[in-house]
Amino acid sequence: MNATRVALLALSLGLALPVQASPTTPTGAISVAQVVDLIQRSPQDNAARNAAMAYLAGVGEATGLLVAEAGRRAHVSISCARPLGISSSAALAALSHTDRGQWDKTAATPILVEDMLSRADCR
């Protein structure tokens, strides 16, 4: 994915999520509450489905790009035993381990990235 497509995806995420879901965290990060809300509304709400798919695709692609870039650098080596991947069900499973009372204050992206790296057995 080239830089222009990454920038457009990031811009679309920034514009879509605040309108489509719960509030962001106090620091402006995409919250667990937002992602869970979008995924749960996805079967009946096309806008929620599009926003959830864009967010998950962005997280997945960005994680893959970061792992690949880290692997290209001599002083950092990351290898994964399995392919990186993310789905709505995997995201919900990863986010469900978060204290529900903190969903609106907890950033979703670090949890999802950690889950992806763990499931792919990256080291």
Which token pair is 12? 């679309």
pTM to 2 decimals? 0.79
Question: Which residue range is the domain that position 93 belongs to?
Answer: 3-21+30-119
Angle at 86 between CA 12 and CA 62, to 5 degrees: 50
The predicted-structure confidence for 46-90, as pLDDT tens digits, reads as follows 999 999 999 999 999 999 998 888 878 767 778 899 999 999 999
Contact 117, 79 (CB under 8 A): no
Q: What's the domain count of the chain?
A: 1
| CA distance readout (Å), 57 to 28, 84, 101, 102 | 20, 12, 26, 24
